[in-house]
Amino acid sequence: MYSKLKPIIALGVVAATALALAGCAPGASSDKTTITIAGPNQWNTDPQSFGPAWEDLVDRFEAAEPNIEVKTVVLPLTEFYQTLSTQLAAGTAPELIFNQVSHKPDQVVALDDYFEQPNPYIEGNEKWITAFNPDYIGGEANVGRNAAQHYEFVPFNLYLSGIYYNKDVFAAAGIDEPPATYGDLITDCKAISAAGFTPLAFDNSYLAQANVVKPITSMLLTKYFDELNYYGPDGKPGTSKQISVKDYSKGVLTGEFTPQNTPEIGEAFTLAKEVVDACATPNWSGVASTGAAFTGAQEFLAGKAAMSFGANFSATSLDDVGWDYGTLPFPTITKQDSPLSTGEGARSGANTGGTSYMIPATTEGDKLDAAVKFLQFASSPVGIQPWLDKTGGIPALADAKPAPGLEGLTTGDWALSPTVPQPALLPKALLGQAIYTGYLTGNKSLDDQLTETLDQWTTSAKEVASDGKWTDDWAQQ
């Protein structure tokens, strides 16, 4: 369909995909260096192409570098993690892979030295790292580094999720303004149900669950900022503007911060379950993610649901719907909603969890040079701006501009990063899995969920301590 992308149909099993990747090189021009990009389809349900924005990006890169040929492997959203993790561990991964996969720092190319050199696609640039917005990668805070304090990926865009809503459904339910508080949300969901619509399109994906649990948890935990602020951005004792994975790991492994001695964790789970019970698609645990831009995408796009969770780049999927839409942040939890509320507005903030790619350590020679060049092109304003405009992207670059139409997500408290985010402590074996299904469906008690959460946090804290080679006394436990 998109000839310039030369896509390879994604296969449903790891072994089959590995064969597809192994067969990429034959057929390429002998005088060209061929590299392959493999990742999930974040924009549409096409199993063969990421879409015309990617076609254009690759087309322009190949025009700039005629001796390099770029191929893509489109992986199903539900399978990319296992596929790429397995290939990375086996040393068979292609030259550029999506960064959200299980790996150790030494399995991918450290980009530190490259970042200190000029980006050839940015006129006047002296150090590649300075082209990025320092709030998201680089800068004095050294954000964007892995547990070993190395840069390992390049963000093509930033990720900012939120709630998309159907203005026509809201009007049919008699709702004049979108919900501002948690209590408003529950009330509105009842009105929407009474009007014959699903309040919140939901499915059995991890993203659906995380979009409820994460903002609630971070709102309730802000009071622990000073207590948990053990380390600076460089991983050494000090303070930072946001609680980090290392801060949380110390709290968990010393027993100072656990789900059992932090009542806000249980309260967050309870409030999340109330949202799912009152708002989510009935029998959502049997609704598989379509891999499209929204939770419960088919129901929402068909106009049968009032709301859905989506990312900033989800807006392009609404170009052809026959109804008006708006965007809003997760509503604020007030004292009326929970006695443990801080009263602060929900925050999400853009982060580099969108479209980011890295290079496996097995990539060498001309292929390594070509892979680096593609990342440099995709992190230059001239290279990425057309792609951002067509995909609804928010740039990680300082001199690029976000796509229009996302004001409800990019303004107010929601656009700010949480000072105490939900603890990002999930074992590698569970990454991408819908870990709250048992509790949210009522098949697991709150106590059991809290016990399971402690086990997950403990396992993850030990994993990141080992990967980062942390030498702190508590990290040796």
CATH number for position 38 = 3.40.190.10
CA pair distance 277, 274, nearest whole angstrom: 5
Predicted pLDDT of residue 385: 94
CA pair distance 98, 432, nearest whole angstrom: 13
pLDDT band at 30 (very low <50, low <70, confident <90, very high): low
CA pair distance 341, 332, nearest whole angstrom: 9
pLDDT band at 81 (very low <50, low <70, confident <90, very high): confident
Q: For 363-402, what is each residue's pLDDT tens digit?
A: 999 999 999 999 999 999 999 999 998 887 888 999 998 8
Considering its fold, how many domains does the chain have in total? 1
C-beta separation of 202 from 276 below 8 A: yes
Residue 242 domain-assigned? no
Do β-strands 33-40 and 96-98 pair in parallel, antiparallel, or remain unpaired? parallel
Spatial CA neighbour of 279 closest among 202, 210, 170, 181: 202
C-beta separation of 385 from 113 below 8 A: no
Query: Is it the case that residue 1 has pLDDT exceeding 60?
Result: no
Helices (H), 175-294: 182-194, 206-221, 225-228, 245-253, 263-279
Which DSSP category does 174 fall into?
Answer: T
Query: Is it the case that residue 304 has pLDDT exceeding 70?
Result: yes
Query: Is it the case that residue 192 has pLDDT exceeding 50?
Result: yes
pLDDT band at 9 (very low <50, low <70, confident <90, very high): very low
* Window from 180-194, 201-215, 412-426 with minimum mean pLDDT: 412-426
Predicted pLDDT of residue 353: 78
* Window from 290-294, 320-324, 392-396, 459-463 with minimum mean pLDDT: 290-294
Residue 428 domain-assigned? no
CA pair distance 199, 281, nearest whole angstrom: 7
Query: Is it the case that residue 287 has pLDDT exceeding 80?
Result: yes
pLDDT band at 350 (very low <50, low <70, confident <90, very high): confident
Q: Which two tokens stand for residue 274?
A: 């109330």
> Which of the two residues, 135 and 125, has the higher pLDDT score?
125
The domain containing residue 50 runs over which residues? Answer: 3-153+355-408
Prediction pTM value: 0.75
Residue 375 domain-assigned? yes
Helices (H), 254-364: 263-279, 297-301
Predicted pLDDT of residue 292: 61
Query: Is it the case that residue 441 has pLDDT exceeding 80?
Result: yes
Do β-strands 68-75 and 154-155 pair in parallel, antiparallel, or remain unpaired? unpaired
Residue 136 domain-assigned? yes
CA pair distance 128, 415, nearest whole angstrom: 26
Residue 393 domain-assigned? yes
CA pair distance 245, 231, nearest whole angstrom: 10
Predicted pLDDT of residue 13: 38
C-alpha to C-alpha distances, 34 to 94, 156, 160, nearest whole angstrom: 10, 21, 33
Residue 470 domain-assigned? no
Which residue type, as a one-letter code, is found at position 271? Answer: L
The overall average pLDDT reported for the chain is 89
Predicted pLDDT of residue 425: 94
Predicted pLDDT of residue 138: 85
Residue 90, burial from CB neighbour count under 10 angstroms (0-12, 13-18, 19+): exposed
Q: Which two tokens stand for residue 170?
A: 């809201």
Predicted pLDDT of residue 140: 67
Query: Is it the case that residue 41 has pLDDT exceeding 90?
Result: no
Phi, psi of 363 (to 5 degrees): -80, 130
CB atoms within 10 A of CB 18: 17
Predicted pLDDT of residue 91: 95
Residue 463 domain-assigned? no
Share of the chain above pLDDT 90, in %: 69
pLDDT band at 351 (very low <50, low <70, confident <90, very high): confident
CA pair distance 352, 152, nearest whole angstrom: 12
C-beta separation of 185 from 336 below 8 A: no
Spatial CA neighbour of 373 closest among 29, 94, 121: 121
- Greatest extent of the chain over all pairs of C-alpha atoms, in Å: 69
C-beta separation of 131 from 379 below 8 A: yes
CA pair distance 38, 41, nearest whole angstrom: 10
CA pair distance 9, 420, nearest whole angstrom: 41
Query: Is it the case that residue 43 has pLDDT exceeding 80?
Result: no
C-alpha torsion sign, points 412, 413, 417, 422:
negative
CA pair distance 388, 391, nearest whole angstrom: 5
Cα 198–Cα 200–Cα 201 angle in degrees, nearest 5: 85
**60 CB-side CA count, 13 A:** 17
Share of the chain above pLDDT 70, in %: 92
Residue 34 domain-assigned? yes
Query: Is it the case that residue 19 has pLDDT exceeding 80?
Result: no
Spatial CA neighbour of 406 closest among 161, 214, 42: 161
Element spanning 18, H or E? helix 14-22
Predicted pLDDT of residue 76: 84
Helices (H), 52-143: 52-64, 80-90, 112-115
CA pair distance 212, 359, nearest whole angstrom: 32
pLDDT band at 352 (very low <50, low <70, confident <90, very high): confident
Predicted pLDDT of residue 381: 95
> Which of the two residues, 234 and 213, has the higher pLDDT score?
213
* DSSP sequence for 350-418: -BS-SSEEE-BTT--HHHHHHHHHHHHHHTSHHHHHHHHHHHT-B-SBTT--PPSS-HHHHSSGGGSPP
- Once rounded to an integer, what is the mean pLDDT over residues 15-38? 62
C-beta separation of 470 from 237 below 8 A: no
CA pair distance 197, 355, nearest whole angstrom: 33
